Amino acid sequence: MHSQVNSHMNLQRQSFFAEQLLSEEGWQSSKFINVDDQGIIVSITDVAETQCKTSFKGAVIPGMINLHSHAFQRSLVGRTGLKGATDDSFWSWREAMYQQLGQMDPGIIEAITAYCYMELLQGGYTSVAEFHYLHHQAGGAPYADPAETSRRILAAAETAGIGLTILPVLYSWAGFGQQPLAQRQTPFGHGIDSYLDLLDSLDKHCKEAALSDWGVAPHSLRAVDQVQLHELLDTLARKKFSGPLHIHIAEQQQEVADCINFYGARPVQWLLDNLPVNENWCLVHATHVNEEELEMMQRAGVVAGLCPTTEADLGDGIFPASRWQELGGAWGIGSDSNLCVNAPEELRLLEFGQRLRDQQRNLMAAPGETVGAELYASALSGGLQALAKPPARGFTPGQRADFLVLNQNHPLLMGKEKDQLLDTWVFAGSAEMLSQVWVAGQCRVKNGRHIEKDKIESEWRRRVVKY
Ligand SMILES: [Zn+2]
């Protein structure tokens, strides 16, 4: 699955010195992180194993994983706030999103995505899972290369220098019971055969791209039918696919009602009862689940893919995250519509939603734990699992060398250490609090600013602003 880093990245073995770092074993002081020529951590030691040119003064923590993004939706910001004649909801927002699709072309998609990924890096994410469904031209005609828009996402990730797991989406129907796609949904459409061809094509492209990998994403139970799901999973099993599988599920009450009406079961219940779901699955949103479904999810070992700002923006509802945490369930965060491109804000809102519901504080932590630190480590671990990588709550050998360096000169961080640093970052974090962001042993953000910001912004100006 894992692609090799391109030779043009020109990496060499190197060691980094950190005065404080968050490792899988907890906080450690005065350590060297030794990184190989592919940008992978090989060891964390007291003595440098190779040349050390970089010393980090502030605390170093692993970059956050963004497990669910639709990058093109970043251009919707500010365009969905006009109150409609009837109650606004996810469904009216989706109409506004569909209206934007007619203006998209591959160049625009690439420019928006590169800009969005640059912002994600500045916001503390070093990996993104892109749930990519905008496959064809407006009107539904495929591009000459059916992988055209997917390749643009790969190119954008390379420009920004973020780790990418592209999840091309299988989207065949407008609703339960094989309802045909509406005209405006035709740019998403794939049948099983063309979808499997797309996966094969992406497998080749990811082998050539730095820092990129792929996984599989049946869009939802409403957009993919039962026969297709079985055929897809059987084919993947034959190919011994062991990568990530993501699905949107139970985001909306309407979807739950439609699923009960069609399958006679709630979405999460039906999925877990009928398909071989395991720890490689990420259930995105899973907002409307009951206790029985939560326990089924826990037994299956899935990751809950939570997208707090988008779920709040769309009025979806509140996932029972504190109960899920109590059950030991894995979870991570996604920026989804990319209204918010900042990891600490996402974690903060997750915790705050639980507090507002329960009228209590510090809900995502057990007695004796610091809630900000617990939120960060849990989201990191669940995020890694959602990319089919070994879960870990801090740096550990085998991980990519993705570093966030907290700004030791920031007044709010001064005089703090260990979990208090993470609590400050999660509840008051801003771009100013991050002095550097590194991906695969390469610096991408310095003093809150992406090193290619001018170039990436000028592409946005050239291609995106005009539409
Ligand atoms: Zn989504």
Q: What is the CATH number of the domain that holds 16?
A: 2.30.40.10
Strands 163-170 and 125-132: parallel
Alpha-carbon distance of 461 to 381, in angstroms, equals 37
Question: Residues 6 or more apart from 207 whose CB is under 8 A from it?
Answer: 3, 4
CA 387 to ligand 1 centroid distance, Å: 16
CA 386 to ligand 1 centroid distance, Å: 14
pLDDT attached to residue 467: 61
Which has the closest alpha carbon to 350: 255, 294, 302, 285? 285
Alpha-carbon distance of 76 to 460, in angstroms, equals 14
CA 128 to ligand 1 centroid distance, Å: 13
Tell me whether residue 16 is in a domain.
yes
Tell me whether residue 28 is in a domain.
yes
pLDDT attached to residue 88: 81
Question: Residues 6 or more apart from 49 whose CB is under 8 A from it?
Answer: 15, 32, 34, 42, 43
Q: Which of 316, 336, 402, 423 is the catalytic position?
A: 336
CA 37 to ligand 1 centroid distance, Å: 35
pLDDT attached to residue 79: 84
CA 188 to ligand 1 centroid distance, Å: 13
The backbone torsions φ and ψ at residue 154, rounded to the nearest 5 degrees and listed phi first, read -60, -45
Range(s) of the domain holding residue 19: 7-62+394-454
Q: Which of 136, 248, 285, 450 is the catalytic position?
A: 285
E-assigned strand segments in 394-457: 403-406, 434-439, 442-446, 449-450
CA 246 to ligand 1 centroid distance, Å: 10
Tell me whether residue 19 is in a domain.
yes
Tell me whether residue 26 is in a domain.
yes
Residue 182 DSSP code: P
Task: Classify 27 in phi/psi space as left (phi over 0), alpha (psi -120 to 50) or beta.
Answer: beta
CA 50 to ligand 1 centroid distance, Å: 42
Question: Residues 6 or more apart from 204 whose CB is under 8 A from it?
Answer: none
Question: Residues 6 or more apart from 305 whose CB is under 8 A from it?
Answer: 67, 68, 246, 282, 283, 284, 285, 286, 331, 332, 333, 334, 386
CB 164 within 8 A of CB 206: no
CB 60 within 8 A of CB 22: yes
Residue linked to tokens 């030779």? 7
pLDDT attached to residue 144: 97
Q: Which element (helix H / strand E) includes 160? A: helix 148-160
CB 374 within 8 A of CB 348: no
CB 156 within 8 A of CB 71: yes
CA 69 to ligand 1 centroid distance, Å: 7
Tell me whether residue 419 is in a domain.
yes
Q: Is residue 197 annotated as part of the catalytic site, yes or no?
A: no
Domains held by the chain: number = 1
Tell me whether residue 429 is in a domain.
yes
pLDDT attached to residue 5: 45
Tell me whether residue 422 is in a domain.
yes
Alpha-carbon distance of 239 to 133, in angstroms, equals 23
Residue 141 DSSP code: P
CA 420 to ligand 1 centroid distance, Å: 32
pLDDT by residue, tens only, the chain of 467 residues: 444 444 445 578 999 999 999 999 999 999 999 999 999 999 999 999 999 999 999 999 999 999 999 999 999 898 888 888 788 888 888 888 888 888 899 999 999 999 999 999 999 999 999 999 999 998 899 999 999 999 999 999 999 999 999 999 999 999 999 999 999 999 999 999 999 999 999 999 999 887 999 999 999 999 999 999 999 999 999 999 999 999 999 999 999 999 999 999 999 999 999 999 999 999 999 999 999 999 999 999 999 999 999 999 999 999 999 999 999 999 999 999 999 999 999 999 999 999 999 999 999 999 999 999 999 999 999 999 999 999 999 999 999 999 999 999 999 999 999 999 999 999 999 888 999 999 999 999 999 999 999 999 999 999 987 66
* Number of neighbours of residue 76 by Cβ within 10 angstroms: 18
CA 133 to ligand 1 centroid distance, Å: 10
Tell me whether residue 251 is in a domain.
no
CA 98 to ligand 1 centroid distance, Å: 14
Residue 186 DSSP code: G
Cα 358 versus chain centre, distance: 27
Q: Is residue 285 annotated as part of the catalytic site, yes or no?
A: yes
Which ranges constitute the DSSP H helices of 289-365? Answer: 291-300, 308-313, 321-326, 343-358
Alpha-carbon distance of 108 to 324, in angstroms, equals 39
Q: Which element (helix H / strand E) includes 56? A: strand 52-56
pLDDT attached to residue 8: 46
CA 337 to ligand 1 centroid distance, Å: 7
CA 327 to ligand 1 centroid distance, Å: 25
